[in-house]
Chain A
Amino acid sequence: MSAAVAAVPSWVQRQSRNPNAVVYTALVVGALIYPTVVQFVNPEQANPLIGLASDAGVYVLMAIGLNVVVGFAGLLDLGYAAFFAIGAYTYALLASGQLALSPAHHAVHLPFWLLLFIAVAVAAACGALLGAPTLRLRGDYLAIVTLGFGEIVPRVFRNLPQWTGGVNAVPAIDAPSLPVWLDGPWDNGADLQIVHDLKLTAGQPVGFYLLMMLLVFVSVLLVRNLQRSRLGRAWMAVREDEVAAAAMGVNTVTIKLLAFSIGAAVSGFAGCYFGAKLSSVSPENFTFLVSVTVLLMVTLGGMGNIPGVIVGALVIYFVQYKILGDLPGWTSSIGSSLGLPGKTVTRLSDLATDLNFVVFGLILVTTMLLRPQGLVPSRARQEELTKGTASEAVADVMGTA
């Protein structure tokens, strides 16, 4: 007992040198206190800010999924948004009145929690389906085929108006509901009571926020398990040297298929959530830009490292939707406070709007120049690699002290 207690400080000390542990801790603490903090700091903007964070979660999920494909297995996928679209449309069609208008003539309203699994299964199956004919290709060729797939899928949804509503989007998608919920003072000072069939609506972003936290938590847990398993090692072996991996008994085709499939599965989560939160899904939500943005998040965050890609996703999302979005506003308020004439201020803020992507590009280039390995780089098997040196050193210090 006392030995266990005595071991705690050294354990904490060890973990504090492990960047991943530090980042995970920061993320968990940040996620837990975020809703309360924005409530205090910016009460009028609290709901939009919480909504923004849970939308960022969509990208976090996709980054975690794409990291399996790109980071672990080393397969360049430029059409990842396709699986996101498939997940979103799975939810949209099976939880709305849309199918009543289709040749099927029957609206389907399955519960969100069931569809979460169905969407994951459908996305995973599509991942395998795409993978099967293409995974014989390598490198650039694979990238081009996935690029094509990423373009084809939204087009299919757009050009099947009798099923998907085409460009008009699938409207009025069901909101997820909780069968039982304990309401209390934490919800705007309501009385303590048990609520049945609580619908999560856009008006209560905290519910969606918690849902997103749950999805991210589960995804991280599962993908982390995979990374440290037989399968994760095989992915890395294929990434490092495909020929040697095959000669060691790794069925490279199956392994790559699994990477595609599991990567796609995570974006099934993301798609399902996306459809439920937005309550409308249109082909315009799944452009090439989405695929590229997610790839960017993975690369910038630290390919192959789960906390890295989470940080990457959050940073890029924040830059894109908060900093770049607010840039014209900031420019004009700075201009006015400097006493510039109104015309100049308008010009400046227009310029800021025009230069949005230049600023974004500059931020990206600067980050990659400063940290080419990513924000939180992958330390494959960090614990193992340092066990031989760091913990021994700690033991030495403890022993002589």
Chain B
Amino acid sequence: MSSDPHILRLDSVTRRFGGLTAVDRVSFHVRRGEVFALIGPNGAGKTTLFNGITGLIPPSAGTVTFDGTDITGLKPHRVAWMGIARTFQNIRLFDYMSVLDNVRVGQHCRMHAKVWDALLKTPLARSEEHEVEDKARELLRFVGIEHHAHNYARNLPYGQQRRLEIARALASGPSLLLLDEPAAGFTPQEKVELMRLVERICAEGITVFLIEHDMKVVMGISRRIVVLDHGEKIAEGTPEEVRTNRRVVEAYLGRSA
């Protein structure tokens, strides 16, 4: 682990789809241990940026540096192994696997059992399975859905599916957690619970980087905010600074306020 105070650095990251530039030379740094938010109107390129960081759709240009290592264009599973976990805007759980198994899969990249261990059920595989199950149950308790451990993921209510996705992401032992609109479709009560959960995750020493539309959530939990509009960064700063920024108000808050 490097002593860099910035866990994640984006340097003029660009992503083009044919003639369309979805993300245009965006640079910012996420500090270790903070809750950092990315906001912007629909289609501003927020999720594209997340996909660029996690390697699902590598950037066309620019560099992504995580923990002092250049991870631009690494395959998604390598990125996960490095310590970046994510959730998805439209929940992507393993529907026909149990809740517990979903979280177990999350630990895949931290496990060591090889094919032979699995085939022959060696002591290593057995003890690892025990550890994985214990950790999975602990994580389910952490997000508050342990009573659903044996249900199929798809049978969970919407809000708990979002929690499960967070638990699954945490299972990979990340130092940076990317949450893509975690409060989408939540009731005010659920939003408050989510904010508490994010604070607890942060207290575990995990840096949280989230995309969110709900201003109450964003302003309530994030230390710093970056605003994206039409693929360009238009502002960066504390919630107060962003709230009073003229361009932000024009581009985004102006419409809703």
Binding site for B on A (CB under 8 A): 222, 225-226, 229-234, 236-237, 240-241, 243-252, 258, 262, 380-381, 384-388
Name the contact of B76 in the complex, choosing from A237, A241, A246, A380 (C-beta under 8 A). Answer: A246
When the two chains form their complex, are residues B111 and A230 in contact, meaning their CB atoms are under 8 A apart?
A: yes
When the two chains form their complex, are residues B108 and A240 in contact, meaning their CB atoms are under 8 A apart?
A: no
When the two chains form their complex, are residues B97 and A232 in contact, meaning their CB atoms are under 8 A apart?
A: no
When the two chains form their complex, are residues B98 and A384 in contact, meaning their CB atoms are under 8 A apart?
A: yes
Tell whether A246 pairs with B150 under 8 Å between CB atoms, given A225-B121, A231-B115, A380-B98: no
User: Number of contacting residues on B, CB 8 A?
Assistant: 46
Closest CB in chain B relative to A245 CB, distance in Å: 7
- Complex interface residues of chain B between 122 and 162 (CB less than 8 A to chain A): 125, 128-129, 132, 147, 149-152
Question: Could you show 30 A-B contacts with beta carbons less than 8 Å apart?
Answer: A222-B120, A229-B117, A230-B111, A230-B113, A230-B118, A233-B101, A236-B94, A236-B96, A237-B97, A237-B108, A241-B92, A245-B94, A246-B76, A246-B77, A247-B54, A247-B76, A247-B80, A248-B105, A248-B109, A249-B80, A250-B77, A251-B75, A380-B152, A381-B98, A384-B98, A385-B150, A385-B151, A385-B152, A388-B149, A388-B151
When the two chains form their complex, are residues A233 and B105 in contact, meaning their CB atoms are under 8 A apart?
A: yes
B197 within 8 A of A: no
B251 CB contacts on chain A under 8 angstroms? none
Closest CB in chain A relative to B183 CB, distance in Å: 20
Closest CB in chain B relative to A120 CB, distance in Å: 12
When the two chains form their complex, are residues B92 and A243 in contact, meaning their CB atoms are under 8 A apart?
A: yes
The complex places the Cα of A136 from the Cα of B147 at a distance, in Å, of: 38
When the two chains form their complex, are residues A241 and B118 in contact, meaning their CB atoms are under 8 A apart?
A: no
B100 within 8 A of A: yes
B186 within 8 A of A: no
B28 within 8 A of A: no
Name the contact of A240 in the complex, choosing from B76, B95, B115, B150 (C-beta under 8 A). Answer: B95
Closest CB in chain B relative to A71 CB, distance in Å: 12
A232 CB contacts on chain B under 8 angstroms? 118
User: Which one of B88, B105, B129, B147 has the highest number of Cβ atoms from chain A below 10 Å of its Cβ?
Assistant: B105
When the two chains form their complex, are residues B115 and A234 in contact, meaning their CB atoms are under 8 A apart?
A: no
Which residue of the partner chain A has the closest CB to B100? A384
B132 CB contacts on chain A under 8 angstroms? 230
A252 CB contacts on chain B under 8 angstroms? 77
The complex places the Cα of A252 from the Cα of B149 at a distance, in Å, of: 25
When the two chains form their complex, are residues A250 and B108 in contact, meaning their CB atoms are under 8 A apart?
A: yes
When the two chains form their complex, are residues B97 and A233 in contact, meaning their CB atoms are under 8 A apart?
A: yes
When the two chains form their complex, are residues A250 and B75 in contact, meaning their CB atoms are under 8 A apart?
A: no
The complex places the Cα of A226 from the Cα of B125 at a distance, in Å, of: 11
When the two chains form their complex, are residues B77 and A251 in contact, meaning their CB atoms are under 8 A apart?
A: yes
Tell whether A380 pairs with B97 under 8 Å between CB atoms, given A249-B77, A249-B109: yes
Q: Which 3 A-B pairs have the closest CB atoms?
A: A249-B109, A229-B118, A249-B80
Tell whether A240 pairs with B94 under 8 Å between CB atoms, given A226-B118, A229-B118, A230-B113: yes
Which residue of the partner chain A has the closest CB to B169? A248
The complex places the Cα of A252 from the Cα of B105 at a distance, in Å, of: 12
Binding site for A on B (CB under 8 A): 54, 56, 75-77, 80-81, 85-86, 88, 92-98, 100-101, 104-106, 108-111, 113, 115, 117-121, 125, 128-129, 132, 147, 149-152, 168-169, 171-172
B108 CB contacts on chain A under 8 angstroms? 230, 233-234, 237, 248-250
A386 CB contacts on chain B under 8 angstroms? 150
Sample of 12 more A-B contacts, CB < 8 Å, known A230-B125, A237-B105, A388-B150 = A225-B118, A230-B118, A233-B101, A234-B108, A237-B94, A240-B94, A241-B92, A247-B54, A248-B169, A249-B77, A258-B115, A380-B98
Which residue of the partner chain A has the closest CB to B147? A388
B168 CB contacts on chain A under 8 angstroms? 248
Which residue of the partner chain B has the closest CB to A233? B105
When the two chains form their complex, are residues B88 and A229 in contact, meaning their CB atoms are under 8 A apart?
A: no
A249 CB contacts on chain B under 8 angstroms? 77, 80-81, 106, 108-110, 172
B76 CB contacts on chain A under 8 angstroms? 243, 246-247
B86 CB contacts on chain A under 8 angstroms? 247
When the two chains form their complex, are residues A246 and B75 in contact, meaning their CB atoms are under 8 A apart?
A: yes
The complex places the Cα of A250 from the Cα of B110 at a distance, in Å, of: 10
Name the contact of A234 in the complex, choosing from B105, B149, B151 (C-beta under 8 A). Answer: B105
The complex places the Cα of A27 from the Cα of B121 at a distance, in Å, of: 24
B77 CB contacts on chain A under 8 angstroms? 246, 248-252
Which residue of the partner chain B has the closest CB to A241? B92
Which residue of the partner chain B has the closest CB to A262? B115
Closest CB in chain B relative to A14 CB, distance in Å: 15
Closest CB in chain B relative to A132 CB, distance in Å: 16
A231 CB contacts on chain B under 8 angstroms? 113, 115, 118
Closest CB in chain B relative to A261 CB, distance in Å: 9
Closest CB in chain B relative to A258 CB, distance in Å: 6
The complex places the Cα of A328 from the Cα of B139 at a distance, in Å, of: 63
Closest CB in chain A relative to B243 CB, distance in Å: 32
The complex places the Cα of A339 from the Cα of B26 at a distance, in Å, of: 90
When the two chains form their complex, are residues B80 and A248 in contact, meaning their CB atoms are under 8 A apart?
A: yes
The complex places the Cα of A312 from the Cα of B95 at a distance, in Å, of: 26
The complex places the Cα of A244 from the Cα of B87 at a distance, in Å, of: 9
When the two chains form their complex, are residues A225 and B98 in contact, meaning their CB atoms are under 8 A apart?
A: no
Closest CB in chain A relative to B73 CB, distance in Å: 14
The complex places the Cα of A241 from the Cα of B105 at a distance, in Å, of: 12
User: Which one of B77, B86, B98, B117 has the highest number of Cβ atoms from chain A below 10 Å of its Cβ?
Assistant: B77
User: Which one of B85, B101, B117, B169 has the highest number of Cβ atoms from chain A below 10 Å of its Cβ?
Assistant: B101
